[in-house]
Amino acid sequence: IHTFSAPLFILVWPLFSNAYGARVFASIIPLMNALRLYLAGTGGTGDNNNDRSTADGSENELAQAISRSGNAEEALGGPFVYVMVLLFFTFFCFTDSPVGVISIATMAAGDGLADLIGRRFGSNNKWPFNKDKSVAGSTAFVSGALVASFGLISWLTGFGVMDPLDLNTIDLFVRLLVISVVCAAVELIPAGDDNYSVPLSAAILSSYLLT
């Protein structure tokens, strides 16, 4: 869910019009997901028993799907930050610049694959300064962020919904690689929530390197 939800959402952006208001309609999707996560994490329900029973079942299923322990309160942690970041960059960046796309792709594909690959293949290659992270996970982070960022930018510019960057393919690839490597290093810092530190770092770097 973490790895593919946001990139799949960006893949449908060419279906929206070029009107400025299109970003408002696109933002409704992460906004509704944020509301669902809030309800899942707080136990918010309807006013009557039938509504309450239906809501409980739906939101409990959501909490089970996105949490590692099954604790519904986890929905208000990383997953909630994830959709709020998606909402922010969808509304304020959308297809105007690559900053939002890169920030979202790095958070979703980079950080998501780091967790998946790190858990499976990282037990014997932990970083000495952070035993919760691994070389395998960091490698997956860089690869996932790079491929997702490059692929999504190519997808949007190919459909004509984002202006082509004034860079050749190699220059773009190298700059995205730099962004991915630096953000992978940020993800290793054992403080804060990488669901916001990673996209924030990606936004700053891409603003400097690509705009």
pTM: 0.87
pLDDT, position 78: 78
- pLDDT score of 54 more than 60: no
- Tell me the pLDDT tens digit for each residue of 106-124: 999 999 999 999 999 999 9
Torsion 130-135-136-137 (CA) sign: positive
CB distance 183 to 152 below 8 Å: no
**How many whole angstroms separate alpha carbon 29 and alpha carbon 153?**
21
Find the mean pLDDT for residues 137-162.
Answer: 97
Find the mean pLDDT for residues 42-59.
Answer: 54
